[in-house]
Amino acid sequence: MKNPPKPFQDYSQLVERLIDLGMKVDDREKAEKAFRCFGYHRLGGYRYIFRQLLPKEEQNEANRKFRRDNFINGTNFNDVMKYYEFDVELRQILLNGLFDFEIRFRAAIAHILAKRNPMAHLDKNCLDKNKCDEITKRNNKTKFEAWKSEYKKALNHSKDEDFIIHYINTYSKEKLPVWATVELLSFGNLPYLFGLLKQSDQNAVARYFGIKNGRNLLKWSLALSNLRNNCAHNIRVFNKNIKYKIKINSSAIINNELLTHIIEEKVSDIKIYRHCAVLAYLLLSHENGTIWNLKLAKHINNFPLIYLNEKIPITSSESSMGFPKQWQKLKIWNISQLHNVQ
């Protein structure tokens, strides 16, 4: 029999509950303010790592029950907030890198498709016909029909944009060229269009980002799109298991030395590190380069290490995010240049 919903508790009662469960709260008003601003439930994911582990025989995988409600001795509310603040900044740094990749991805797709035809995105002859004719599971349409529906939605949603009004009044009421169309697409729709490109065009776009095979870039872009959605919706990311995993195929990478450590060291595929490394690789491999990798490395280097006993921190960038041991020595993070980052 399932338990009934928990009864409502006011902010002061929630603070009292944490104290009863063994958490030290130095400033009750500060804690109540945090609940008012961020929500008691939202902060639960950051409190979780401070809860006492159940003995293995009492843990329940099916119900995701691995910890007691009580906190480890020495737990302080201020430390919980350190992880929350670290995660907030992490999401912003990730978004900055993802936005940068998104813009470069748009530009590359537009350029390669426009070589064939300014309206190539609406012409099956300029796309991969076999992929276009595949039936989608969701609505029983062909992928090309589904793409055209998304294109029309995007056009209708952006009809008040100045550049759309200008183009419609000057050229066409129904069709936008590909270089304008990509500016209307969400990050989630970009991989959909990219997936319909001819293989040779996919490969051409992929080479802009240091990848030989477009299929790998498609898979990576889908995983990064999901990460972008999580960051944009303020979902906790620093210690959360990743649903859309990233696989590294060394034969598809042009600059192997930046990513082969993931294969050699068997870096976890359910933590966020792979997404961070792949995003850094894509930006570094592009002709415009980046210092985004340094900004992320600086933030990770300041990961809050909180010791509730003398030897082992409550968590670390290795255990919570999947960063390899001695990750600072890896070329992709170029940590020797951190002094140049503001």
**Can you give the pLDDT at residue 337?**
62
Q: Tell me the residue type at 241.
A: N
Q: What is the DSSP letter of 71?
A: E
Sequence-distant (6+) residues with CB within 8 A of 37 are none
Domain boundaries defined on the chain: 11-75, 85-340
Residue given tokens 């990513």 in the structure block: 259
Compute CA 43 distance to the chain's CA centroid, rounded to the nearest angstrom. 20
Q: Which of 191, 194, 189 is nearest to 204 (CA)?
A: 194
CB 340 within 8 A of CB 294: yes
The CA distance from 182 to 161, in Å, is 14
The 10s digit of each residue's pLDDT in 45-60 is 999 999 999 988 888 8
Cα–Cα distances in angstroms (integers) from residue 173 to residues 149, 156, 182, 218, 242, in the given order: 16, 11, 17, 31, 42
**CA–CA dist 205, 212 (Å, integer):** 9
Angle between helices 273-285 and 292-301 (to 10 degrees): 150
pLDDT of residue 82: 98
What is the distance in angstroms between the CA of the first residue and the CA of the last residue of the chain? 55
d(CA 47, CA 232): 22
Q: What confidence score (pLDDT) does residue 146 get?
A: 93
Tens-digit pLDDT string for the chain (342 aa)? 677 888 999 999 999 999 999 999 999 999 999 999 999 999 999 999 999 999 888 888 888 888 999 999 999 999 999 999 999 999 999 999 999 999 999 999 999 999 999 999 999 999 999 999 999 887 788 999 999 999 999 888 887 788 778 777 777 666 889 999 999 999 989 999 999 999 999 999 999 999 999 999 999 999 999 999 999 999 999 999 999 999 998 888 998 889 999 998 899 999 999 999 999 999 999 998 999 999 999 999 999 999 987 788 999 999 999 999 999 999 999 866 655 555
Residue 305 · residue 318 · CB < 8 Å? no
| CA distances from residue 255 to 86, 216, 290 in whole angstroms, order as listed | 31, 14, 15
Q: How far is CA 259 from the centre of its chain?
A: 18
* SS3 assignment, position 157: helix
User: What per-residue confidence (pLDDT) applies to 102?
Assistant: 97
Residues 72/79, Cβ–Cβ less than 8 Å: no
Burial class for 299, CB neighbours closer than 10 Å (0-12, 13-18, 19+): middle
CA distance 108 to 206: 9
